[in-house]
């Protein structure tokens, strides 16, 4: 059990580093989602099932969608081009 726990902890630190150092904001957000799932696994190993359930639902589902909405807000030109392409296709 300890070896598995150490493996999860190393992976957790790696995903946190990627979320911190990635150039693209989108990669950092997806890495943060993986970080949340791994944190839920850590909570299960630490015998806290309630906290693990909350962490899995909120930090990898809700927070990620909040980040994606706010990120797409700052990318308006791309969205506009995409919509125009669709309009031309029709």
Partner 1 sequence: MGLLLLCLGIGWWLWKGVAAMEDPEFIIGPAAYYIINTAEETGAANIVAAILFDYRGIDTLGEASVIYTTVCGVAMLFSKSKYKRSSAGLSFIARRGVSFLVPFLLLYGSTIILMGHMTPGGGFQGGAVFATVTILLCIVFGSSFEMSRIKPKTKETIESLGGLFFVFLGGVGLLAGAGFLANTAAGFPRGQVGNFLSAGAIPLLNIAVGMKVGAGLSTIFYSMVRVLELEFGEQMSEVEGNDKN
Partner 2 sequence: MIKISYATAIFVFCIGLYTILSKRNLFKTVIGLTIMESGALMLIVTAGYVHGGVPPLIPMEGQAVNPLPHAFTLTAIVIGASDVALALALVIKVHRRYKTVDLDKIRGLKE
Nearer Cβ to partner 1 (7/66): 66
Q: Which x/- pattern over 31-50 shows residues binding partner 1 (rule: CB under 8 A)?
A: ------------------xx
Query: Is there binding between residue 29 and partner 2 (CB under 8 A)?
Result: yes
Residue with smaller CB distance to partner 2, 62 or 79? 62
What's the rounded Cα separation, in Å, for the pair 52 and 64?
Answer: 17
Nearest to residue 32, comparing CAs of 9, 21, 16? Answer: 16
- What would the two tokens of residue 60 be? 């990898």
Q: How far is CA 44 from CA 49, 52, 82, in A?
A: 6, 6, 43
Q: Which of residues 34-73 bind partner 2 (CB under 8 A)?
A: 35-36, 39, 42-43, 46-51, 54-55, 58-59, 62-63, 66-67, 69-71, 73
């Amino acid at each position: 059990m300890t070896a598995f726990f150490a493996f999860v902890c190393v992976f957790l630190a790696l995903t946190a580093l990627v979320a911190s150092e990635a150039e693209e904001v989108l990669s950092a957000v997806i890495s943060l989602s993986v970080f949340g799932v791994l944190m839920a696994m850590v909570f299960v190993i630490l015998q806290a099932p309630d906290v693990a359930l909350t962490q899995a639902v909120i930090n990898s589902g809700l927070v990620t969608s909040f980040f994606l909405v706010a990120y797409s807000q700052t990318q308006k030109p791309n969205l506009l081009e995409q919509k125009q392409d669709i309009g031309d296709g029709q």
